[in-house]
Structure 1
Amino acid sequence: MAKKTTTKKQKSIEETLWDSANKLRGTVESSEYKHVVLSLIFLKFASDKFEERKQELITEGKDKYLEMKEFYNMKNVFFLPKESRWSYIIENAKQDDIALKIDTSLHTVEKNNPALKGALPDNYFSRLNMDVSKLAALLDTINNIDTLKDKEQDIVGRVYEYFLSKFALAEGKGKGEFYTPKSIVNLIAEMIEPYKGIIYDPACGSGGMFVQSIKFIEAHNGDKKAISIYGQEYTSTTYKLAKMNLAIRGIAANLGDVPADTFAKDQHKDLKADFIMANPPFNQKDWRADNELLDDPRWKGYDVPPKSNANYGWILNMASKLSQNGVAGFILANGALSGGGEEYKIRKKLIENNLVEAIVILPQNMFYTTGISVTLWILNNNKKERVVKLPDATRNYRNREDEILFMDLREIGEPFEKKFIQFSPDQIEQISKTYHNWQQKDSDYEDVPEFCYSAKKDEVNSKDYSLVPSKYIEFVNRDENINFDDKMKALQTDIADLLKQEAESKEDLLAVFKDLGYEL
């Protein structure tokens, strides 16, 4: 009988590298090894680019320029002295001082390339005191990756995205805030269309919003040189990740001179952005002291956001930085849709000022750090009639100052990584097309039950300025058509009956033990 053969699925580069990284467990904390892997990937990629450029100079007969960094920088290639090159690292991979050699390499790369200032970890590998054999095994795995093999596939970029998502998955709730799931970023980009001008992210994490903006431009035949990128990040290690993530893709960005709190130390005070994309921390508490930031110019014309929750601080920070035609797309917890107090006053003013363009509820389980459903807000500083030409389309906008689009995407999405949800490309296209049709003249937009509804401002006012989509979208088959008070009263009765039955069972049990002479 012939022996049955099975074809083993070949692992992707990302999966192979992830398996290798997992072997670091026990020698470093899981919260640390993402920086180990991504720093080494960066160094391998920079070395591959350097060697490629070096060979070009040799082919051109310019051997005397091989050690002159100007001839590398002119081609957007980082110049690497001998002790920073990957070949040198591999030659010494099994030496006891390999961690020190890696630190020296990273320090020298940064020192020789001003664009990397503050991007690379300082004395990081030496401090971790890793097992040399495990580190050598990881270096060997990375050594087998040809980072330049397929320029169209952006191998290093793929590894970055894969690892950032994997680390966010592994670290779970309370960590991984630096990563916004790719399909959400794609959706924001397709809706606000950041094709030219200034892009800003006040809580930029690892730079994913910027990367996707550039990909959007490339996909729609735009000009990457027509974009300027500004951002800010509070956490030092994440700030470095962002700088590396952008550097390996050749994306120039101003992320501020240092990692810093956007509220306490705004490094882009006078910025006016054409596009804002952000996923700030949800429901951030005690983000300012009682007497701090009371006269901040970002709140001008509005109430001061409450210190108990930073959601409206983030909203006003972004609203204050919109250019005359600026558009912002950002993610917030659902509580911001209907809060009271100062939040109510700010929300009312935002609506009266015609800034709120769309409110989009996302499905549960899209984020790796929380299972809750969250909201995509779109603010637009110019909802008036105008014509905008994109590289591959023309938008003939109608006046929408008196309207807000509500969308409910909670029944849309596909499974991802077993317990998570993401949007497929077709779903992103459907959602963004609905939004753009709603914006434009002579389109086929129409309200769809359980999906979308265009509300007049008077209708929003009549619902006390609530931005909860279920108050506007028609629901036929889902729980939104159930009267909340009736449902709660029924539950109240059921729970009361259960508690009564539990008490009676407890009394019966005590009586049985008492009859047996074992009183409890």
Structure 2
Amino acid sequence: MNNKVNQDSINKALWAVCDTFRGTISADTYKDYILTMLFLKYISDVWQDHYESYQAEYGDEPELIDEMMKNERFVLPKAASFYALYERRHEPGNGERIDQALHAIEEANGTKLKDAGKSVFQDISFNTDRLGEEKQKNDILRHVLEDFAKPELNLKPSRVGSLDVIGNAYEYLIKNFAASGGQKAGEFYTPPEVSELMATLLDPQPGDSICDPACGSASLLMKCARKVVENHDSKNYALYGQEAIGSTWSLAKMNMFLHGEDNHKIEWGDTIRNPKLLDQNGDLMLFDIVTANPPFSLDKWGHEDAENDKFGRFRRGVPPKTRGDFAFVLHMIETLKPKTGRMGVVVPHGVLFRGAAEGRIRKQLIDENLLDAVIGLPEKLFYGTGIPAAILMFKKEKTDSNVLFIDASREFKSGKNQNLLSDDNIQKIVETFNARESVDKYAYLANLEEIQENDYNLNIPRYVDTFEEEEEIDLMAVRKERLQLKEQLVALEQQMDSYLKELGYE
């Protein structure tokens, strides 16, 4: 089987597992069970695959093989394997056994599946009444174990080869949950092509520290990491993130574990109210790259404590009580390293032009020469909202005082319910960003004076003229065509009359 067939069949089989839950619990709840079981099945298959390869090499020497298996990147206790659970699926107590297996995996792998005492599986329990009473729950979990035991979901590396099957499967599931779950599920998901665009624009280098303060399932962070590997054949980077929703934080940790991203620190907590990424002095950590797709216009973001913020993040102004967009922007700015710091953040268009407190903050950021570019994206790119968004690029050490405006809002690939950015769309944005020159009807390099003349309003149409002149209409040609059509109509009516007479109709 080729990779494409493998991935497609795996994705379809995974989505079919959801049928076991549908009608019993909501998608927002069962996504956690599906993703956690996928995690368990994958590490069990990797473990089994490696065990069998040692068996082939050394024969039936269980003690020697057990010793060899201690060199694996993770530890899988025998009773915690998916296959041990599958063998006992017809017995009562499936939920309890699965929970015990997850706990055993957590304990056996030290800090890899924990952060500051919080465990990855803390918010998920298969032994819960949410899956129904004991018999119904046991039956549902038996079906789930059987679904994951199907040949299509054999995730052994010897079968799937070099394909990033688990990364693709995670992305596929999360994307589908976001598409069907609306805004709530969309909170933790940045479309892959937007992550790709932002990671390419930020151009992570070996040695960079990379942070996402609203990291969701960590797809954007890992996309940045992949750029260092792809472009520089290096894994010399450090990943940092913070996520407010406990179950989504767990997803991020599992995602990191599955991708072998051991050099990371993902904290659980509210970034604005309680930033957790601090240095040894208790100050905000500083990073080479800071990037995020924060929740749009978050209500109740922590306005009441902002005035007395001990980190001084709101010295440029306190954002409005019911719109937290600039709260995230200001937090991110404060965590940039003074020389190498660069930043990309997704914002709703209102951030570009709204007045009052937001207008004052915007003016301050521009006057400090921190804003590097404004990139307008197409509508319907993000799950849970149809509104178009923009990417703001900031840089600590700019070589000029200009701001590049790019209007990419009309260039996209139409999907069924969502629009997509094609590879060509992304490449055009990146090339324009790097060239830093005006492009007719697409980009404009504005100087500080022009922005000041516009009262620091960053609305893209003020800078990029996309007006297309309509073709001049030749009224005489239109009149001539109209007269010809009238003559044709008269001739057709006369012909119709003659046919009717022949048929005996007067």
Q: Same fold (TM over 0.5)?
A: yes
For 1:420 and 1:21, the matched residues in 2 are separated by 22
Q: CA deviation at 1:301?
A: 4.6
- SS of equivalent residue, structure 1 residue 359: strand
Contact conserved, 1:57 with 1:63, CA < 8 A, in 2? no
| Aligned residue among 457, 460, 482 for 1:469 | 460
Task: Choose the corresponding residue for 1:155, options 146, 165, 173.
Answer: 165
**What secondary structure does 1:351 align onto?**
helix
Following superposition, the deviation at residue 306 of structure 1 comes to: 3.1
Matched, 1:309 2:323: yes
Residues in 1 aligned to 2:36 and 2:262: alpha-carbon distance in whole angstroms: 19
Find the aligned partners of 1:107 and 1:477 in 2 and give their Cα distance: 62
Q: Distance in 2 between matches of 1:106 and 1:190?
A: 36
Call closer, same or farther: CA 1:341–1:122 in 2, change over 3 Å. Answer: closer
> What are the Cα deviations for residues 403-444 of structure 1, in whole angstroms up to 9, with x where unaligned?
10101111111022x121011112211211111111xxxxxx
Change (3 A) 1:474 1:283: same
Give 1 or 2: higher helix fraction.
2
| One-letter amino acid of the counterpart of residue 422, structure 2 | S
Q: Secondary structure at the match of 1:172?
A: helix
Correspondence list, 1:397-416, <5 A: 401-416=400-415
What is the match of residue 430 of structure 2?
A: 432
Separation of aligned partners in 1, 2:237 and 2:315: 30
Q: Which residue among 235, 249, 253 is the counterpart of 1:239?
A: 249
Partner of 1:504: none
1:146 to 154, 168, 171: 154
Deviates most, 402-411 or 282-291: 282-291
Distance 1:456 1:107, change over 3 A: same
1:448 aligns with 2:459: no
Contact 1:231–1:253 under 8 Å retained in 2? no
Letter of the 2:459 partner, please give it.
Answer: V
Q: Is the 8 A contact 1:100 1:126 kept in 2?
A: yes
Counterpart AA for 1:161 = E
Letter in 2 for 1:12: S
1:361 lines up with 2:376 in the alignment: yes
CA distance in 2 between counterparts of 1:320 and 1:96 reads: 54
State the SS of the aligned residue for 2:21: coil
- Asked if 2 retains the 8 angstrom alpha-carbon contact of 1:106 and 1:121, the reply is no
1:307 Cα offset (Å)? 2.7
Describe the shift of the 1:298–1:93 C-alpha distance in structure 2 as closer, same or farther (beyond 3 A).
farther
User: Which residue of structure 2 lines up, in the alignment, with residue 87 of structure 1?
Assistant: 83
CA separation in 1, counterparts of 2:349 and 2:192?
A: 20
Q: Distance in 1 between matches of 2:122 and 2:164?
A: 24
CA contact (8 A) 1:57 1:65 kept: no
Equivalent-residue separation in structure 2 for 1:378 and 1:159 (angstroms)? 30
Consecutive unaligned residues in structure 2, runs of 5 or more: 279-283, 471-506
Looking at structure 1, the residues matched to 52 and 179 of structure 2 have their Cα atoms a distance apart, in angstroms, of 40
Distance 1:287 1:44, change over 3 A: same
Number of residue pairs the alignment of both structures matches: 443
Of the three residues 168, 179, 203, the one matched with 2:214 is: 203
Residue 471 of structure 1 deviates from its aligned partner by 0.6
Deviations 1:72-103 (A, max 9, x none): 56442x21112101210110123231111111
For residues 99-248 of structure 1, the aligned pairs below 5 Å read: 99-114=95-110, 115-117=112-114, 118-121=119-122, 124-127=125-128, 128-129=130-131, 131=136, 132-143=138-149, 144=151, 145-147=153-155, 148=157, 149-196=159-206, 197-224=208-235, 226-248=236-258
Answer with 48-57 or 273-282: which moved more. Answer: 48-57
Query: Equivalent residue of 1:277, what SS?
Result: strand
CA distance in structure 1 between the partners assigned to 2:195 and 2:124 by the alignment: 33
Residue 125 of structure 1 aligns to a residue whose secondary structure is: coil
Q: 1:15-45: CA deviations, max 9, x gaps?
A: 2210221331122222111111110110011
Q: Give a deviation string over 1:129-169, Cα, whole Å, max 9, x none.
A: 35333433332232232222224211111110000000001
Structure 1 unpaired stretches of 5+ = 1-7, 385-400, 439-444, 480-520
Report the residue type matching 1:265 in the other structure.
Answer: N
Q: Does 1:261 align with 2:270?
A: yes
1:14 to 11, 27, 30: 11
Cα contact 2:200–2:227 (8 A) shared by 1: yes
Deviation at residue 289 of structure 1 after TM alignment: 4.6
Partner of 1:23 in structure 2?
20
Q: Tell me if the contact between 1:191 and 1:435 (Cα under 8 Å) persists in the aligned partners.
A: yes
> Does the 8 A contact of 2:249 with 2:266 survive in 1?
no
Identity %: 28
Partner Cα distance (1:174, 1:446) in 2: 38
Does structure 2 conserve the Cα–Cα contact (< 8 Å) formed by 1:120 and 1:244?
no
Q: Which amino acid aligns with 2:90?
A: K
Letter in 2 for 1:456: N
Tell me whether 116-125 or 154-163 shows the greater mean CA deviation. 116-125
> Pairwise mapping of residues 463-502 of structure 1 onto structure 2 (< 5 A)?
463-477=454-468
